[in-house]
Amino acid sequence: MTLCIDWALWRSFLAVAEAGSLSGAARRLSLTQPTVGRHIEQLEGAFGQKFFLRSPQGLMPTEEALALLPQARAMAMAADSLERQASAPAEEARGIVRIAASHVVGVELLPEALAPLVDAHPGLETELALSNENSDLLRHEADIALRMARPTQGSLIARYLGEVPLGLFAHRSYLLRHGSPQEPGDLRGHLLIGADRDPAFLAALEAFGGAMTRRSFRLRCDSEAAQLAALREGIGIAICQRGIAARDPDLVPVLAGQVSFRLGCWLVMHDDLRAVRRIRMVYDHLGKCLPRMFKRQPVP
């Protein structure tokens, strides 16, 4: 407020920092290199410090610019969110809704869950922001998020969807080749598929008190979607949501009665978006639809 910096300058600032060059930023913003260059100049002039080191290879952010970067991103998120929200009148069921979820959920559950909704509302557009990290709703990275951890409040609205049942599964072909484990101890001889560095997963392993370590899993990957693909390929045994496994008749439960996990699941949205009808609608729909999908049993 003190200096009244034109907000457009920050946009150029962020673009340059992310693109690494004036020209690159200009392309991204549909501007020209001299314009973006002037913006940066203007910014540096206003604050009396250099934000980028010029070089013929591009611009390198200085220490100061790096410190500003996260906040500039926050601003960009808010701007994007504004454009999404303004994309249609609040009381209509059309416009853009951005949903954050893990890769598996995005691949295996959301398409099916959203299908009837987008079908019924021709003006409704959905964006899936799939990521392993909990994307930050507070920064408006998405409108709605599906989370496996209780949201730690802070102007967020959450709905508990219940527990997602997990189990061990293997492809029929794998079991034909390697046999079916009959008790947990048998797992030692099998090829297990698990997460790579996912902290939640590693923490869960601790619970087994050393009986299972990261090394127990011979195919490690943080993308659950890739794990699922490997599972379907018959590479080994993996943990999978029962509801998802149930959709594939070739996936066979392993140690069904003996090994099982559950994961709490929350649907979260930002309080700011309470007034936006289409978001509320998607939120409510997912809130009804997903628990059913979690509970789905295999059809024999």
Dist CA 12 CA 126 (whole Å): 27
245 in Cβ contact with 108 (< 8 Å): no
- Residue whose structure tokens are 């929200």: 85
Select from a second copy, DNA, none the partner in contact with residue 184, using the beta carbon and a kind-dependent cut-off of 5 to 8 Å: none
> What is the C-alpha to C-alpha distance for residues 131 and 102, in angstroms, rounded to an integer?
5
Q: 11 is in the binding site of which of DNA, a second copy, none (Cβ under 5 to 8 A by kind)?
A: a second copy
- Choosing from 45, 55, 119, 153, the residue that interacts with a second copy (CB under 8 A) is 153
Q: Judged by CB, which is closer to a second copy: 118, or 156?
A: 156
Cα distances from 300 to residues 69, 252, 297, in angstroms, run 53, 11, 9
Q: Which of residues 47-106 bind a second copy (CB under 8 A)?
A: 47, 49, 63-64, 66-68, 70-72, 74-75, 78-83, 85-87, 89-91, 96
Q: How far is the CB of 90 from DNA (least distance, A)?
A: 22
* Span of 56-64, 81-89, 141-149, 268-276 interacting with DNA by CB under 7 A: 56-64
Binding residues for a second copy restricted to 218-277, rule: CB under 8 A: 271-273, 275-276
Residue 208 binds a second copy (CB under 8 A): no
Q: Which of 249, 240, 254, 246 is nearest to 166 (CA)?
A: 240
Site size for DNA (CB under 7 A): 20
Residue 297's binding partner, choosing from a second copy, DNA, none, with beta-carbon cut-off 5 to 8 A by kind?
none
Secondary structure (3-state) at 100: strand
What are the residues whose beta carbons fall under 8 Å from the beta carbon of 43, sequence distance 6 or more? 5, 9, 10, 12, 13, 51
**CA–CA distance, 280 with 91 (Å, rounded to integer):** 10
Q: Using the structure block, give the residue that is written with the tokens 């893990």.
A: 102
**Site map for DNA, 18-37, x if CB under 7 A?**
---xxxx-----xxxxxx-x
Compute the distance between CA of residue 296 and CA of residue 94 in angstroms, rounded to an integer: 30
Name the amino acid, one letter, at 5: I
Smallest distance, a second copy to C-beta of residue 84, A = 8
Does residue 129 interact with a second copy by CB under 8 A?
Answer: no
**Minimum CB separation from DNA for residue 41, in Å?**
8
Q: How far is the CB of 10 from DNA (least distance, A)?
A: 12
Contact residues toward DNA (CB under 7 A) are 8, 21-24, 30-35, 37-39, 54-59
